[in-house]
Amino acid sequence: MVPTLTLRRLALKDEPAFKLALKNLDTLPLFHFAQSYRRAMTYSEYLKLLSDNEKGIRVPDGIVPYTMLFGFVENEIIGGLILRHSLNNFLLSYGGHIGYGVLPKHRGHSYARKMLTLAHSHVEFHKISRLLIICDDDNINSIKIIEAFDAVLENKVVCQSEKLLRRYWIKPQNLC
């Protein structure tokens, strides 16, 4: 039997799973997995920060309100997904509405695609009419995932680190 993937916010009971996932990050940038988390934070401080950010409370300059969701298989966190409720100039060029990451040991099981599909209800809740998803031009796996949702490539841009990025637009109904 294939385990079921769920996508949800962190809860107090998830602290051990979250700490284990942090240990397994390997080369995945922290911002792709746990937006705004800093290793000096306590878990309860992180939960409060996520709750405040989602409600638009004390959102730092340059950051937009967002919902941080985590993919769980049984009681293990396999990845994270951030849904930004709006775009500022930086996100419009280089970040997009959605960012996601799957922990290295869980790749190859279509979890990223499943997390994007499960994010649909959150996209609807925030009344986002078009989703911008951006990925590195050489990230073949992300390109395949994004294009599987009938994404339209608008253009390619060079980011501050001189990497080439692809900017895709997706209709929320295509996530279903």
| Confidence at 98, pLDDT banded by 50, 70, 90 | very high
| Confidence at 32, pLDDT banded by 50, 70, 90 | low
The domain 5-175 having CATH identifier 3.40.630.30: the answer here is: yes
| Confidence at 30, pLDDT banded by 50, 70, 90 | low
Show the tokens assigned to 168. 């895709």
Give 173: exposed, middle or buried? Use CB within 10 Å, 0-12, 13-18, 19+.
exposed
Residues of the chain with pLDDT > 90, as a percent, come to 77
Give me the pLDDT at residue 64, please. 96
Helix/strand/coil for 19: helix
Task: Give dist(CA 26, CA 154) in Å, integer.
Answer: 32
- Supply the mean pLDDT for the chain: 92
Residue 158 has what DSSP assignment?
Answer: E
Give me the pLDDT at residue 27, please. 60
Which residues, in sequence order, are CB contacts of 89 under 8 Å at separation 6+?
A: none
Do 65 and 83 touch, CB atoms closer than 8 A?
no
DSSP-assigned letters across all residues of 95-111: IBSEEEEE-GGGTTSSH
What average pLDDT does this structure show over 150-173? 94
Global confidence as pTM: 0.92
Question: CB-hemisphere CA count at 13 Å for 86?
Answer: 11
Do 38 and 44 touch, CB atoms closer than 8 A?
no
Q: Which of 149, 146, 140 is nearest to 167 (CA)?
A: 146
Helix/strand/coil for 159: coil
pLDDT for residue 120 is more than 90: yes
Give me the pLDDT at residue 52, please. 96
User: Can you give the residue ranges of every domain in the chain?
Assistant: 5-175
Task: Give dist(CA 99, CA 123) in Å, integer.
Answer: 13
Show the tokens assigned to 23. 């240990």
Strand partners, 105: none
| Confidence at 80, pLDDT banded by 50, 70, 90 | very high
